[in-house]
Amino acid sequence: MKLSGRIKDQHFQFSSVTELLAKASEEKSGDRMSKVAAESSLERVAAKWILSELTLKDIYENPVIPYEKDEVTRVIYDQINNHIYNEIAHWTVSYLREYILDHSTTSSALKRISRGLTSEMIAAVAKLMSSIDLVMASQKIRYQAHCNTTIGEPGRLAFRCQPNHPTDKSEGILASLKEGLSYGSGDAVIGINPNNDSVESVSRLLTISHEFIQKWGIPTQNCVLAHITTQLQALKKGAPMALMFQSLAGTEKANRDFGVNKELLDEASYYMMKMGTSSGPNVMYFETGQGSEVSLDADHGVDMQTLESRTYGYARHWNPFMVNNVSGFIGPETLFDGRQMIRADLEDLFMGKLNGLPMGIAPTYTNHMESDQNDQEIAGMLTALAGANFYMGVPGGDDVMLSYQDTSFHDDASLREMLGFRPLREFEIWLETMGIMENGRLTPKAGDLSIFN
């Protein structure tokens, strides 16, 4: 395995695959903070060149965190289809890129080889791709999943209606929920971020949203984004829950800081299948995003992009209904500006899809980043073009509960109209029944909350 090379009379030597992957990443403030980023553009180019000539076997035999030391590594490697891996082990990373982008390579072929790829291989090939490469490759891969609605069908774009309220007041949550539904948002999930994480409060929010869904016959699923242990207790006490949520990361140490591990996720998945209200079989909802590991000092010297790909490889084990990438949520210490946020969104959408997941994107930013609404809208349009399954729907694009900026109900409607997407099939029929949508376009009743009186 060659880890050195010469460019412009400069010799570059990398000590490991882990270092090579990190130095080949596009510039990110989190990688610079953790001192794994390339020191110059020339070093980055050298790293990309040398990485392009590694074989997939080189990467397979050198996981960034050893199998014996990390649960995430074990889950990823235990899922690999050895027959498919052995077919492609001799490919270089450069050849893998050419294969993915070749016009004759089908979605079915990509889904097949993905079963023989580790998450580090997927991160490696993404590092050799330009933005247009990432969009083209992402367009080819589409995974469907079913909870109460089916997400991921061609020509369909869904949204999570996010009716948060800073004090969990029922009236405020229902007003926000009605507004989102009136604009056609909510077919992915009605997902509430709670202020109060107690079992009693979470159970109350699940009951409120469930009863509203039942009353109006809405084909969707409810979820309250408390910690998984709280949701599990609420579920066992009989709270009506269609989808269970948890944030995940790409190392065992970071997941331990999140208070989660494989055993707990297995238990949650089991009880959702046994006691959840949805038809399934996909009953889990995960959120991820570049930078959580470095923020928790749990990155093991691995770059943010590679760790994010490992998060997807870990998430795949539970066949989730939806995985939402929220890069940009943490702040400038991980993604400094709009340029870094847009690049991360494109990388993450592609890596999630090639890891076998039904991906959504939340092109978010905090107000202390060098980013603004224009960056967010550009990221939204590009990732919609690349085939993201869903986005968030937040009143005014400003989350009053979590104090960050996300896509609004109006952004949702605009993305559908600009790109000719329709709501999820079951939800579109309901919108037409309510008079909110006709022939795929919102009617004058859109935004009129009195339809729920």
Q: What is the pLDDT of residues 127-166, one digit of tens each?
A: 999 999 999 999 999 999 999 999 999 999 999 999 999 9
Task: Say which residue the tokens 């209904």 belong to.
Answer: 321
Contact 273, 237 (CB under 8 A): no
Render pLDDT for 199-249 as a digit per residue (tens, 0 to 9): 999 999 999 999 999 999 999 999 999 999 999 999 999 999 999 999 999
Predicted pLDDT of residue 400: 79
Mean pLDDT across the chain: 96
For residues 129 and 353, the answer to whether their CB atoms sit within 8 Å is: no
Q: Extract the annotated binding site for substrate.
A: 160-162, 193, 287
Q: For residue 333, what is the DSSP state?
A: T
- How, if at all, do strands 284-288 and 322-325 pair? parallel
CA distance linking residue 252 with residue 243, whole number of Å:
24
Cβ contact 46:21 at 8 Å = no
Other CB atoms within a 10 A radius of the CB of residue 119 amount to 30
> In the prediction, which pLDDT does 283 show?
98
CA distances (Å), origin 275, targets 218, 219, 240, 243, 271: 20, 19, 9, 11, 6
Residue 73 has pLDDT above 80, yes or no: yes
User: Do 284 and 269 touch, CB atoms closer than 8 A?
Assistant: yes
Instruction: Give the pLDDT band (50/70/90) at residue 329.
Output: confident
Q: Which residues are annotated binding-site positions for adenosylcob(III)alamin?
A: 194, 246, 295, 401
Residue 288 · residue 294 · CB < 8 Å: no
Using one digit for the tens of pLDDT, what is the confidence trace for 231-242?
Answer: 999 999 999 999
Q: What is the mean pLDDT of residues 185-189?
A: 97
Q: How far is CA 374 from CA 90, 336, 377, 411, in A?
A: 43, 15, 5, 12
Question: Cα–Cα distances in Å, from 278 out to 48, 80, 223, 231, 242?
Answer: 45, 29, 11, 15, 5
* 448 pLDDT above the threshold of 80: yes
Beta carbons of 105 and 140 less than 8 angstroms apart: yes
Question: Which tokens go with 329?
Answer: 């949520």
Give CATH superfamily name and number for 13-140.
Answer: lyase (1.10.220.70)
Q: What is the pLDDT of residue 328?
A: 78
Determine contact, residues 77/133, Cβ cutoff 8 Å: no
Cα–Cα distance measured from residue 430 to residue 427, given in angstroms and rounded to the nearest whole number: 5
12 touches 5 (CB < 8 A): yes
- Tens of pLDDT, residues 27-71: 999 999 999 999 999 999 999 999 999 999 999 999 999 999 999
User: Residue 118 phi/psi, 5° resolution?
Assistant: -80, 165
pLDDT for position 320: 98
Predicted pLDDT of residue 349: 98
Any residues with CB less than 8 A from the CB of 234 and at least 6 apart, and which?
A: 199, 202, 203, 206, 224, 226, 241
Contact 264, 318 (CB under 8 A): no
Radius of gyration of the chain (CA): 21
Residue 330 has pLDDT above 90, yes or no: no
Q: How many CB atoms lie within 10 A of CB 365?
A: 25
Per-residue pLDDT at 156: 97
Cβ–Cβ < 8 Å for 156, 421: yes
pLDDT at 402 over 80: no
Structure tokens at 330: 């943490």
| pLDDT given at position 153 | 96
Cβ–Cβ < 8 Å for 360, 390? yes
CB 164 within 8 A of CB 173: yes
* C-alpha distances in Å from residue 139, one per residue of 11, 14, 235, 357, 386: 38, 34, 37, 13, 5
Compute the distance between CA of residue 120 and CA of residue 60 in angstroms, rounded to an integer: 8
Known binding-site residue numbers: 160-162, 193-194, 246, 287, 295, 401
pLDDT for 312: 98
331 pLDDT band (50/70/90 cuts)? confident
- Helix, strand, or coil (residue 160): strand
**CB-CB contact of 149 with 187 (8 Å):** yes
Strand stretches in 290-404, DSSP E: 322-325, 359-361, 390-393
- My answer on whether omega of the bond before 163 falls inside 30° of 0, hence cis, is no
- Least-confidence region, from 214-223, 258-267, 405-414: 405-414
Angstrom distance (rounded) from CA 204 to CA 257: 27
Give per-residue pLDDT as tens, 285-320.
999 999 999 999 999 999 999 999 999 999 999 999
User: What is the pLDDT at residue 403?
Assistant: 77
Q: In this model, does residue 337 exceed pLDDT 90? A: yes
pLDDT average, residue stretch 393-414:
87
40, 187, 340, 388 from 411: Cα distances, Å: 38, 15, 21, 14
Residue 221: per-residue pLDDT: 98
Residue found under tokens 């910690």 = 227
DSSP string for residues in 227-270: -HHHHHHHHHTT---S-EEEE--SSHHHHHHTT--HHHHHHHHH
Distance of alpha carbon 53 from alpha carbon 75, whole angstroms: 27
Q: What would the mean pLDDT of 85-90 be, rounded to a whole number?
A: 98
Q: Where are the domains of the chain?
A: 13-140, 145-452
Tokens of 428: 């579109």
Tell whether domain 145-452 is in CATH 3.30.110.30. Answer: no
Reported as a pLDDT band with limits 50, 70 and 90, residue 339 is very high
Q: pTM to 2 decimals?
A: 0.97
DSSP label of 387: T
The per-residue pLDDT for range 350-373, each reduced to its tens digit, is 999 999 999 999 998 888 889 999
Q: Where are the alpha helices (DSSP H) in 40-118?
A: 41-52, 56-60, 71-79, 82-88, 93-101, 107-114
In this structure, which amino acid lies at residue 371?
S
